[in-house]
Amino acid sequence: MTNRILDFSGGAAYLRLENEQLVIERRGDGGTENAPSPQPSPGVPGEGELAPRAGAWGSEIRVPLADIAVVVLGHSQVTCSAGALAGLLRHGAATVVCDRDHLPTGMLLPIAGHSTQAERFAAQAGAGLPTKKRIWQQIVRRKIAAQAATLEALRQIDGGLRAMVPRVKSGDPENVEAQAAQRYWPLLFDNPEFRRRRDAEDANRFLNYGYAVLRAVTARGICASGLHPSLGVHHHNRYDAYCLADDLMEPFRPLVDEAAVECAGIHGSDAALSSAVKRSLLAPLLGLYRAEGEARTLFDWIARASASLAAVFLGESDRLELPEGLVREDEPDAAE
């Protein structure tokens, strides 16, 4: 699987299914025939190889469903046929729907993701509180360690976060995660006033977008492992259908955080979620990452973590396989 992220935020489009391919019919903005052609951007619908010239109506581009990991429907004039949605789900792709501000508001995932799904659902639902607490301890420890590594890479200090990792006990009763966050965010953005607020009109918008796509990737891996994304080990909001994805994505959030900092430095923290900004934010989700002597895509690392979580629920293991010290090995293709 190529694991492509397709973001349709640049204009109107019609998506349909044909021969196990996603057929993309792009509609320009009705501009002049002499409008400039977009610059190449490999693997990206909306700009580059998948985008026709402005004003070219009915141009078709085809992408194999097996190559697609996530589709982001980010424009109000994007239409997706039921056949296309069914095909994406059949191949395990996650579909994210955005609102008028181009921020994700919902997600569609396959119902059946594994041959022994019913057995795994039962094991997951029956997991005891001690098991869930141990899982959450491992997740929080790895998250704080990843935050420390991000600070070291960007600010040459860890803000005392590494010393906090051993303090995380089963279930994190002292809420060390929140204490680490209080140190982390101001240092990360080099701003003593910065706080993580979803509704803030600053770099928080970059984080919102990047996390939404990471959440989709994580939920996809969870479903592929035969688990249910709603049954979390720590998150338990009654209105949240992806509690387990919110749990498991925690150690991978700093990859998006680093991209948001870089994006704010290039475009400004008040920049709109343009194609260029989204391309910068999606970059961490593509390419290869090296850890523990292996180079894998982020999709692979998350899939491994999801599979190990299933093994814990089934009583086959007592530890999650969460990569330590992920380092990007190459520059991935951009995505819009």
Taking 90 as the threshold, does the pLDDT of residue 185 lie above it?
yes
- Residue 278: both structure tokens together: 């989204």
- Residue 146: both structure tokens together: 């990843």
119-178 per-position pLDDT tens digit: 888 999 999 999 999 999 999 999 999 999 999 999 999 999 999 999 999 999 999 999
Q: Please choose, from the candidates 143, 142, 294, 320, the residue with its C-alpha nearest in 3D space to the C-alpha of residue 222.
A: 320
Supply the pLDDT for residue 58: 60
Winning range, highest mean pLDDT, from 112-121, 258-267, 288-297: 258-267
> Strands 68-73, 4-8: parallel, antiparallel or unpaired by DSSP?
parallel
Alpha-carbon span 213 to 102, nearest angstrom = 12
Q: For residue 254, what are the CA distances in angstroms to 55, 74, 113, 188? A: 40, 24, 27, 10
- Residue 84: both structure tokens together: 């296309």
pLDDT, averaged across the chain: 84
Supply the pLDDT for residue 332: 47
Q: Check if the beta carbon of residue 256 is closer than 8 Å to that of residue 284.
A: yes
Q: Check if the beta carbon of residue 69 is closer than 8 Å to that of residue 88.
A: no
- pTM score > 0.85 for this model? no
Report all structural domains of the chain as residue ranges with CATH numbers, in order of start.
4-108 (3.100.10.20), 117-328 (1.20.120.920)
Alpha-carbon span 243 to 236, nearest angstrom = 6
pLDDT-derived band at 309, boundaries 50, 70, 90: very high
Taking 90 as the threshold, does the pLDDT of residue 10 lie above it?
no
Supply the pLDDT for residue 56: 46
22-61 per-position pLDDT tens digit: 999 986 543 322 222 232 333 333 333 333 333 444 678 9
pLDDT-derived band at 236, boundaries 50, 70, 90: confident
| Of residues 23 and 3, more confidently modeled | 23
Angle 286-291-296 from CA coordinates, rounded to 5°: 40
Average pLDDT over residues 233-251: 88
Residues 6+ apart with CB under 8 A from 212: 96, 103, 104
Comparing 13-22, 100-109, 305-314, which segment has the lowest mean pLDDT?
Answer: 100-109
Q: How many CA atoms within 13 Å lie on the side-chain side of 10?
A: 24
Look-up: residue for tokens 């049954």? 231
Supply the pLDDT for residue 286: 82
Q: Check if the beta carbon of residue 72 is closer than 8 Å to that of residue 88.
A: no
pLDDT-derived band at 239, boundaries 50, 70, 90: low
Supply the pLDDT for residue 91: 87
Q: Check if the beta carbon of residue 298 is closer than 8 Å to that of residue 232.
A: no
Answer left, alpha or beta for residue 259, where phi above 0 means left and psi between -120 and 50 means alpha: alpha
* Phi, psi (deg, nearest 5) at residue 194: -70, 135
Can you tell me whether residue 271 is helix, strand or coil? coil
| Of residues 14 and 112, more confidently modeled | 14
Alpha-carbon span 218 to 161, nearest angstrom = 25
Say which DSSP state 283 is in.
G
Look-up: residue for tokens 């792709």? 93
